Structure 1
Amino acid sequence: MLIDGAGPALLPVPASDAARRRILVDALRPDDAPAAQDQAPEDLARPADLAPLGDDTALVVATSGSTGTPKGAMLSASALNASAVATEERLAGPGRWLLALPAHHIAGLQVVLRSLLAGAEPHVLDVSAGFDPLSLPGAVRSLEAAAGDRPLYTSLIPGQLRKVLNHSSASPAAALARFHTVLLGGAATEPELLDRAAAAGIHVVRTYGSSETAGGCVYDGVPLAGTEVEIDDDSRVWLGGPTVAAGYRNAPGHEAFSRPGWFRTEDAGSFADDGGLRILGRLDTAVSVGGLTIVPQVVEAALMAHPAISEAVVVGVPDARLGHRLAAAIVPAPSVSVPPPAELSSWVRERLGRHSEPATYDVMAELPVLANGKADRKEIERRVR
């Protein structure tokens, strides 16, 4: 079993995407078998060498990304077990889980692993065609019938929670309120969404982590048992502890694992007054505008604090004078008129200063997303140029 180290290492792949499966198998082979003989896409070079799998390696999990060769985090059975046990300890003990995320991504995998640890299969929602909030009431009835006195848990991304709260029927939100805890991760969550969830009686715990840390390892800013957090002089977040991967299968010696037992993230962070971790944004998406470095997620949070904005993604696009300028893709809140650009710029300027104002605003019915539910920033850059 995965959490006790028995059996060979596994590579989770999407069941419904043959092209993606071939890419992952060719790049991240979880054994020493040769790569597939059919020609790989030209932009996906097979790795010249692969890092050896440890005796304890249980999973090789593809990191997120829409183009190029994905990196494969090598997770040991002990790392997976440490994550699942620490989660049970932080929550209310073993429970029954609803799987509402793709099972080949780390957040979905962790629902499966936590269920294994609890000795119960998760209730699985079919999200291959998208997440339907109306599937929640029936799922909760099934879970409650089987759970006995055990608590109910699930993991969602902010977009799913937003769909629940924006639904014309109140039944999805009422169903979600029956869960002891809804773990929410994968992207930044605006305070307004958390306030709406609390008002609906939904207990949300924000999680922070990645494939390289066996999923979320910091809950509501507080590390799980065994996890350590450091912030270096460049404001970069480092995560250490028993849940950290052994490295990348197809990138031996990668600098992200230059410190044994630690993972160097691409996130900027700080410690709040109460000592909790606060993520400011992604260092690898930072934009230089006229020589000033802007973290897009900070601007996005300011925009989503506006009552008329449901979602926002800010990207940098080339500019002849400044090098780059900020462009915002926004999704309006339901049944609300989109404010004029001048009003939105004034809103941002009052909170962050003139240098953080987007130069343009593109209104979209919905944001393009990657398979893992995160915003597809490259596609947004293409649309807003």
Structure 2
Amino acid sequence: MPATWLTRGPGDLLTALDDNAEHRPDHLAVQWRGRSLTYAQLATRTRQVAGAMAADGVAAGHRVAVLARNRVELVEVYFAALVLGAVPVVLNWRLATAELRAIVEDAEARLVVVDPQVPSADGLVDPTRDGPAIVLLASTTGNEMASTRGRDYDTWVGEAVPVAGRSSSDLDDACVQLYTSGTTGRPKGVLLSHRNMWSLLSGAHEDWRVMPGSVLLCPLPAFHIGGLGWILVSVARGATVVLLEEARPDLILRSISAHGVTHVILVPALMASIVEQQLRDRLDIRALEIIVYGASPIPRTQLREALEVLDADFIQAYGMTESCSSMTQLGPEAHREAAGQPEPAEGEPDLLRSCGRPRRGIELSIRALHDGTELPVGEVGEVWVRSAQVMAGYWRRPEETAAVLMPGGWLRTGDMGYFGPDGHLYLCDRVKDMIISGGENIFPAEVESVLLDHPAVAEVAVIGVPSQRWGERPKAYLVLVPSAATPDLKDIRAFCRARLASFKCPDEIEVVPTLPRNASGKLLKKELRRLVTPNLPTGQSSSVR
């Protein structure tokens, strides 16, 4: 079947599902646990769920929230909302109840579909106030952690009259409202339109080599644009998506083996554990072709081992919710080339530390922070992006929208970076993470990159800490490779001094068991900044000044 939705020009996402239901009715669309739906079945269920929503008064423009780990019903609810012209709001189940309640109220959700096994669902709706209707999904374990009350999802859907048609939609209507992780402030609702999503998917399916016969594994949560985009690119291409509720290395490998998975999306923090698991289990994962990852670069030694053990092509994608996911790509050829190179000398660009070149339809520009003027190749500034993928804005936040959407269609990303002479983009850090020490700018990502080259270091985060003399000085938090002998931290400092200017080297290094991350794998440096005295078990934390 030709990928009509992807090739005939911008279209809405419900049309993508309907195209597949017409042309590939018996092809598997979604698999989860022991349950699967063909495209014909998914389209039918979508209309049935839309009927249940309509009976509860959901109409065009209303918000429908879903609080659940990856499961079939999440996909049903997403497309059912589109049938009515409503806007799906996929909630971050890792947030606390109070945080979720604030988001539900901010979105003015008319309906919330809840997985009762999510602990934060308990008390999601204040019973003393008028709030949205609540529908509860079936427990998969019999262990309902939440006391939230609502109607049973299957009964609610089964009693509904299916919606025969669909609401008319405009390409600039929102097809999802995703809330930012709040790493730099309170979460904001990012409005992504059908046009935004088509602009991403029409190129991504080729960049990621997704075919109708592909099987995509999605262990990333759908409340993150990476996870949702992975589900939607599968539907857009008429492929099959396998959903996982958690990103455990053993589950990932077993799913790849059991379902003949060809594509998987991961974060680099998982890679070493997956390789170690596969070396123990030796599962048949020969179907695996593509591993897409983001959030941070992958160390060279780790890449070499992963290429050998997993035998798949690697693609790094850099993006953000506000740009509807991926803006740049470092492709398979670049990864294999970089894996075969020695560590670059000081001052030389390292291809593996770049996030690739802009994807088709993406314009990137490096701008000065003080006046927004464009900077030449090699100079560090803020990354700006212009594309049909750029969001419409933040939900009911005109001032915060105006602060990032610039004249001419440009979006300020808040990331600092520069272009290498070969056109690759190199990220330095978030604007707010830059350390100013004695008048010198220090980019934590540069220090982190050096520390990751040490064979004993698995993960690293560098932040600025107060200094009476310099204003700020860098401090490094390290997670060590499990199989590595505990290094002398003074030797690690010497390792840094041999590769970095002395003012960039961390004054303090601390070993910790884990680093705080959000669901997309991004470091939560604000959590590290809150630490005054480490509160870790004896023997798991040490530091050197």
TM-score normalised according to structure 2 size: 0.61
1:363 is the counterpart of 2:511 = yes
- Mean CA deviation greater in 162-171 or 78-87: 162-171
Distance 2:269 2:392 in 1: 31
Asked if 1 retains the 8 angstrom alpha-carbon contact of 2:224 and 2:519, the reply is no
Counterparts of residues 310-349 of structure 1 (less than 5 Å): 310-349=458-497
* Aligned-pair identity (%): 28
Matched residue count: 362
Distance 2:13 2:108 in 1: 17
Aligned to 1:217: 327
- Mean CA deviation greater in 221-230 or 298-307: 221-230
Aligned to 1:134: 250
Q: 1:85 to 1:55 in 2, by over 3 A?
A: closer
Asked if 2 retains the 8 angstrom alpha-carbon contact of 1:107 and 1:215, the reply is yes
Aligned to 1:81: 198
- Structure scoring higher RCO (CA < 8 A, sep ≥ 6) equals 1
Asked if 1 retains the 8 angstrom alpha-carbon contact of 2:190 and 2:395, the reply is yes
Aligned to 1:351: 499
Structure 1 alignment gaps of length 5 or more: 41-52
Asked if 1 retains the 8 angstrom alpha-carbon contact of 2:447 and 2:462, the reply is yes
1:14 is the counterpart of 2:160 = no
Counterparts of residues 97-112 of structure 1 (less than 5 Å): 97-112=216-231
Asked if 2 retains the 8 angstrom alpha-carbon contact of 1:28 and 1:71, the reply is no
Distance 2:239 2:209 in 1: 16
Q: 1:23 to 1:296 in 2, by over 3 A?
A: same
Deviation at 1:301, TM superposition (A): 0.7
Asked if 2 retains the 8 angstrom alpha-carbon contact of 1:154 and 1:183, the reply is yes
| Code of the aligned partner of 1:269 | G
Q: Deviations over 1:31-65 (max 9, x none)?
A: 8xxxx77899xxxxxxxxxxxx9952111111122
Deviation at 1:281, TM superposition (A): 2.0
Asked if 2 retains the 8 angstrom alpha-carbon contact of 1:310 and 1:333, the reply is yes
Aligned to 2:268: 158
2:415 aligned to which of 267, 270, 273: 267
| Code of the aligned partner of 1:243 | Q
| Code of the aligned partner of 1:155 | I
Distance 1:59 1:335 in 2: 43
1:231 is the counterpart of 2:387 = no
* SS of alignment partner, residue 167 of structure 1: helix
Distance 1:72 1:361 in 2: 37
Deviation at 1:376, TM superposition (A): 2.0
Asked if 2 retains the 8 angstrom alpha-carbon contact of 1:285 and 1:295, the reply is yes
Deviation at 1:227, TM superposition (A): 1.1
Aligned to 1:43: none
- Report the structure number with the largest CA radius of gyration: 2
Deviation at 1:162, TM superposition (A): 2.6
Distance 1:327 1:371 in 2: 24
Distance 1:260 1:11 in 2: 29
Q: 1:37 to 1:269 in 2, by over 3 A?
A: same
Distance 1:3 1:299 in 2: 45
* SS of alignment partner, residue 513 of structure 2: coil
1:118 is the counterpart of 2:230 = no
Q: Deviations over 1:79-114 (max 9, x none)?
A: 111111211121324232101111111111011111
Asked if 2 retains the 8 angstrom alpha-carbon contact of 1:237 and 1:265, the reply is yes
* SS of alignment partner, residue 423 of structure 2: coil
- Mean CA deviation greater in 18-27 or 325-334: 18-27
Aligned to 1:258: 406
Distance 2:328 2:202 in 1: 14
Deviation at 1:193, TM superposition (A): 2.7
Asked if 1 retains the 8 angstrom alpha-carbon contact of 2:253 and 2:278, the reply is no
Distance 1:284 1:39 in 2: 40
Asked if 1 retains the 8 angstrom alpha-carbon contact of 2:405 and 2:412, the reply is yes
- Mean CA deviation greater in 218-227 or 158-167: 158-167
Deviation at 1:74, TM superposition (A): 0.9
Deviation at 1:167, TM superposition (A): 3.5
| Code of the aligned partner of 1:135 | L
Deviation at 1:163, TM superposition (A): 1.9
Deviation at 1:191, TM superposition (A): 3.1
Q: 1:54 to 1:203 in 2, by over 3 A?
A: closer
Asked if 2 retains the 8 angstrom alpha-carbon contact of 1:315 and 1:327, the reply is yes
Deviation at 1:351, TM superposition (A): 1.5
Distance 2:283 2:494 in 1: 34
Two-structure CA RMSD over aligned residues (Å):
2.9
| Code of the aligned partner of 1:364 | V
Distance 1:23 1:66 in 2: 16
Runs (4+) off by over 6 Å: 36-40
Q: 1:168 to 1:88 in 2, by over 3 A?
A: closer
* SS of alignment partner, residue 137 of structure 1: helix
Deviation at 1:342, TM superposition (A): 2.3
Asked if 1 retains the 8 angstrom alpha-carbon contact of 2:254 and 2:283, the reply is no
Q: Deviations over 1:288-317 (max 9, x none)?
A: 112211111110111011111111100111
Distance 1:312 1:329 in 2: 6
1:69 is the counterpart of 2:180 = no
Distance 2:312 2:531 in 1: 35
Asked if 2 retains the 8 angstrom alpha-carbon contact of 1:214 and 1:243, the reply is yes
Asked if 2 retains the 8 angstrom alpha-carbon contact of 1:14 and 1:20, the reply is no
* SS of alignment partner, residue 316 of structure 2: strand
Q: 1:225 to 1:166 in 2, by over 3 A?
A: same
| Code of the aligned partner of 1:332 | L
TM-score normalised according to structure 1 size: 0.85
Q: 1:336 to 1:139 in 2, by over 3 A?
A: same
2:318 aligned to which of 208, 217, 230: 208
1:189 aligned to which of 278, 290, 298: 298
Q: 1:278 to 1:66 in 2, by over 3 A?
A: closer
Deviation at 1:29, TM superposition (A): 4.1
* SS of alignment partner, residue 88 of structure 2: coil
